[in-house]
Amino acid sequence: MKQLSVFLENREGRLEEALRILKEKNINIISMSVADTAEYGMLRLIVNDVEAGREALLNDGFSAHLSDVIAVRLPHVVGSLHDALSALSRAGINVEYLYALCTKTDEAAIVIKPSDREGAAKALTEAGFKFFTDGDLF
């Protein structure tokens, strides 16, 4: 799955500007995360059209790029997130970041940016986890 990543100056209104651009281009935000430092922020989005979203933001002066991520389905049981992360740890795969994913299903879900996407997919599959695709979300 592709994620839209946007570099934001940490100043009043900059997040709103980015979201306005996506709204005007009819880009639906499925899930998002914002991380910040004193000077800048990183907006990470799962959207219905990553290419159109990236182009719109670039045209308006934002720094935006696409990243490969994994959208993992998690059963609603105690410890399922731990089990997923343990499978990655046993495979020697680092989780660079993760955030919750909003879905239309009753399952919990997370977006993971692993150090090794193919290795992570293999480790999680072997541990019994399943994944969301773009078609599942949009």
Q: State the CATH architecture for 70-137.
A: 2-Layer Sandwich (3.30)
**Structure tokens of 98?**
């993760």
| Cα(53)–Cα(30) distance, integer angstroms | 13
CATH of 2-67, one of 3.40.50.300, 3.30.565.10, 1.10.238.10, 3.30.2130.10: 3.30.2130.10
Q: What is the pLDDT of residue 125?
A: 96
User: What's the pLDDT tens digit per position in 8-62?
Assistant: 988 889 999 999 999 999 999 999 999 988 788 999 999 999 999 999 999 999 9
Instruction: Report, as an integer, the average pLDDT of 90-109.
Output: 89
Where are the chain's structural domains?
2-67, 70-137
Is residue 135 pLDDT above 80, yes or no?
no
User: What's the one-letter identity of residue 117?
Assistant: R
Q: Fold match between 2-67 and 70-137? A: yes
The predicted structure's pLDDT at residue 97 = 94
| C-alpha–C-alpha distance, residues 117 and 87, integer Å | 13
The SS3 call for residue 77 is coil
Average pLDDT over residues 96-111: 86
pLDDT in tens, 21-30: 999 999 999 9
Report d(CA 87, CA 38) in Å as an integer.
34
Please give the Cα distance from 33 to 66 (Å, whole number): 15
